[in-house]
Amino acid sequence: MIIDIVSSFYKYLPIHPGFAQAFRYLEAGNLDPGSETRQIINGDLIFASFMRRPAKTRETSRLEAHRKHIDIQFLVSGNEQFGWKPTSDCVKPDGDFNEERDVQFFKDEATSWHAIQPGHFVIFFPEDAHAPMVGTGEIAKVVVKVAVV
């Protein structure tokens, strides 16, 4: 997991060949989380999802993990907290892995909680189970999915 501000994205470009294109998309600033649409950036390799939703509580959030994609979650507005736990430590699956949506939910408790502000991003790798969208009021964000290569 990586947490930083979007202007520092260049430090993370060597980690994955798709990060340059993903961060250029975020940097361009054409982000409308109210549209709730999927924006294709590079076919199935890189795409963005927009969301604007009421925040969850820690009690109603669930840990989730992905196998095929890395999440770059960029907070547009609101104040968000997210829970985190190593995926390898999650032992209570909440249903089967959803191949189509590339998500596995867990009933495990997060081992740590982190807060971010608008303009921050978090990178979640398949090793990072995360419980997003926790806070108060409304949260607007963009999630860029980058295929694990």
What is the CATH number for 34?
2.60.120.370
Structure tokens at 13: 């470009």
For residues 120 and 3, is the Cβ–Cβ distance under 8 A? yes
Determine the pLDDT at residue 34: 56
What φ, ψ does residue 61 adopt, rounded to 5°? -85, 155
Domain count of the fold of the chain:
1
Write down the pLDDT at residue 29. Answer: 73
pLDDT at 36 over 70: no
Q: Which amino acid is at 67?
A: R
118-145 in b/e form (b: 16+ CB < 10 A) is: eebbbbbbbebbbbbbbbeeebbbbbbb
Tell me: pLDDT of 99 over 90.
yes
Instruction: Report the C-alpha gap between 129 and 75 in whole angstroms.
Output: 18
100-138 pLDDT per residue, tens? 999 999 999 999 999 999 999 999 999 999 999 999 999
What tokens were used for 1? 């997991």
pLDDT in tens, 40-90: 899 989 999 998 999 999 999 999 999 999 999 999 999 999 999 999 999
pLDDT over threshold 80, residue 33: no
Q: What range does the domain containing 139 cover?
A: 2-147
Hey, which bits of the chain come out as E strands?
A: 2-5, 38-42, 46-54, 63-65, 69-77, 80-86, 104-106, 112-116, 120-124, 128-135, 138-147
Sign of CA dihedral 94, 97, 98, 104: positive
Q: What confidence score (pLDDT) does residue 97 get?
A: 98
What is the structure's pLDDT at 35?
61
Q: Using CA atoms, how far apart are residues 1 and 128, in angstroms rounded to an integer? A: 6
The model's pTM is 0.94
